[in-house]
Chains A and B, each alone.
Chain A
Amino acid sequence: MFALIDCNNFYAACERLFEPRLEGVPVGVLSNNDGCVIARSEEFKALDIPMGIPTHKIDPALRRRVVLKSSNYTLYGDLSARVQQVLARQVPTLEPYSIDECFLDLRGMQEDWHALGARLVRSVAREVGLPVSIGIAPTRTLAKLANRQAKTQPTRPQVCVWQSADAPELAAHLARLSPREVWGVGERLNARLAGMGVLTAAALRETPDSELRRRFSVVLARTATELNGHPCLSMSDLETPRRSILCSRSFGRPLRDHNALAGALRHHCQRAGEKLRRDAMQASAIGVYMRTNPHHAGTFRHACEWTALPFPSADTQQLNRAAQRLLARLWQPAAYQKLGVMLTELTPRQQSQTTLFDGAEPARREALMEAWDAIRARYGRQALTLGPQPSDAPWQMNSAYRSACYTTRWDELPRARAR
């Protein structure tokens, strides 16, 4: 059996944990830079404010009734790790799927699945303080559907168990479900399935394997097999490896000065390099793009250029050197609103391969980057930067309504009042 555990309205729940006054209040969480709504509490959803709505387009009358929060990934990341620790202690294998979801591989366990599910949900609620729901079924694909079903239950704990793929309630559920709702079936695949008369998840799992393989793909055939209760998909089947990295940000105010833009670019290169090294990847090509505000008067300027790196690299300084050369070529006097750096042709990192023209002592460079990351992880991101990077610089993130980093910063601990 497999389980999918999902934290209900995770970001809003994290905000509420340290601010009990938000209980029962509509809470919306904003994207990086406070641009639009990316997460909503149940009360916020009930107001019919859609996901993704730009912050400034929320009706002012509604705006007064809700609480908006800047996203606080430091806090969400810490709480996510705690949820996983609590679960990992109780089951043989835990596979994180996203910041608020993880799969549990329960094979080898002999349990009353309802009781196990209820126990897991309660342990997270008690130890971390976050509401979660759980779906348990014979395959990951079915567990994901079971989890969705669990979320519709009005009673706590939200647990949905499908003992086997032939369970009558499961068959009835699949007969009402569009294939689009199944893990790994996208919009286009759904349209093609509809074209051949496959309109429900039940019809999808009854379609012969050979036909799915011939007309679609092995992965879709496996999805159907999973709907029939036979586990055959691994997590990696459904995740396309990251092929590119993008670090960009709109400026709080337009930037004209070449020096200021160079500072923003250093900041982005630094983040891009960290992302690369975190994923143990290296990039072969780097691009820089910059643009003015399309909604402002004056000529719109958009410039973008790529260059190949001399050799694949995850070295922040190498990335920055190449990016700064691109910037020098692209820059013309204008009021820029956005600047970004892109990395592509990502490949898994090789051990130091020396090239003839390298001469950069690759092993020492790698050690330098390792020390760099370790220092920033331990002493904070402001402790070591590539050139000066003031925290009020216009390319730093705009997060006017960010909650405190309650669990990771001594000077932002929650306050508990003596009564």
Chain B
Amino acid sequence: MSMTPIALAASTSAPASSDTLPRGASGFPSPADDYREAPLDLHHHLVRRPASTFFMRLEGDDHRHAGLHHGDLLVIDRAISPRPGHWLVAAIDGELSVLHLERREAQLYLAPSRPGLATLPFEADDDRLWGVICYAIHALPAMGEEPAEPSCLR
């Protein structure tokens, strides 16, 4: 049994082998065979480092101005070093939280979007850091707010 969603998703793309491609009814090989390439795999595109990549779901609309919406699928790679301008997941008040990392003068801050929340000074190896967000996948209206995943992928 495979434990990682990564392995499951990767296995959905069939290996492209000219030995297994269906031939035309006439028995002649398809002239496209020589040009066959592996199909594009979105999972591999989004997940460069499977061991350190995690998915989360964004809760709340406070970052809507930055294009981050409630229900977006976040792709987080813990191996990325945080830099100013990055969006981070950090453990704040015992809760996984999404904030923007900003530099003001020489100091780094975790900047909230929600009015009334204070900015938090951030150290280089801050142990509140959970990971750096590399993609936020947003479903458009055709998919509804929170895309229902096909039940076969559960």
Contact = CB atoms under 8 A, between A and B. Distances in A.
A321 interface: no
A392 interface: no
Interface in B52-77: 52, 54-63, 68, 70, 73-74
A379 interface: yes
B21 interface: no
Contacts of A407: 4-5, 54-55
Main SS at interface, chain B: mixed
B101 interface: no
Contact of B78 (A127, A274, A415, A419): A127
A416 B74 contact: yes
A18 B68 CA distance: 21
A411 interface: yes
B62 A418 contact: yes
Nearest to B147: A410
A272 to B, nearest CB: 15
Interface string B88-104: 01011011111100000
A408 B7 CA distance: 10
A99 B62 CA distance: 40
A86 interface: yes
A380 B117 CA distance: 42
A278 B60 contact: no
A419 B92 contact: yes
Nearest to A74: B3
B1 A416 contact: no
A81 B3 contact: yes
Contacts of B57: 413-416
Contact of A128 (B8, B78, B113, B149): B78
Q: How large is the interface on A (under 10, 10 to 19, 20 to 34, 35 or more residues)?
A: 35 or more
Nearest to B112: A419
A23 B91 contact: yes
Nearest to B92: A419
B114 A419 contact: yes
A245 to B, nearest CB: 16
A419 B97 contact: yes
- Give the contact-size bracket for chain B: 35 or more
Contact of B113 (A86, A127, A416, A419): A419
A129 B56 CA distance: 15
A78 B51 contact: no
Contact of A414 (B11, B56, B70, B112): B56
A376 B152 CA distance: 10
A21 B51 contact: no
Interface string B116-154: 010000000000001100000000000000000100111
Contacts of B92: 419
B94 A20 contact: yes
Interface string A117-161: 000000000111100000000000000000000000000000000
A413 B91 CA distance: 16
Contacts of B46: none
Given A127-B52, A418-B61, A78 B3 contact: yes
A128 B117 CA distance: 29
Given A411-B149, A418-B113, A85 B50 contact: yes
B72 to A, nearest CB: 10
Nearest to B100: A419
Contacts of A380: 152, 154
Given A126-B79, A407-B55, 8 more contacts: A20-B96, A82-B52, A379-B153, A410-B149, A411-B149, A413-B55, A415-B58, A418-B62
